[in-house]
Amino acid sequence: MKHRYHIHGMTCKACSSNLEEIISKVKGVSKAEVNLEKAEATIEMKSHYQQAEKNYVSIQLFSYQREI
């Protein structure tokens, strides 16, 4: 299953690369792609997030003014 998040506030490739790396480490995430030009993150996983994992991703995206 895929989840897509719109992210505002990323200003460079380093921002998107850093987010991609952090999200990829979350338990249950099989693939994470962060696109700077589209200002979005696409996250693939085998099942829905557990609440703790969802909170972790939310905290990581918080500084980029995430829109769901």
Amino acid at 41: A
Indicate the pLDDT class of residue 13, thresholds 50, 70 and 90.
very high
Domain 2-67 in CATH 3.30.830.10? The answer is: no
Token digits of residue 26: 């979350």
More confident residue, 68 or 56: 56
- Report residue 51 as tokens: 């609440």
Between 36 and 28, the more confident residue is 36
Q: Is 0.85 topped by the overall pTM?
A: no
Contacts of 55 (CB under 8 A, 6+ apart): none
Q: Which two tokens stand for residue 15?
A: 């921002």
> Residue 28 region, left (φ>0) first, then alpha (ψ -120 to 50), else beta?
left
Higher pLDDT, 21 or 54: 21
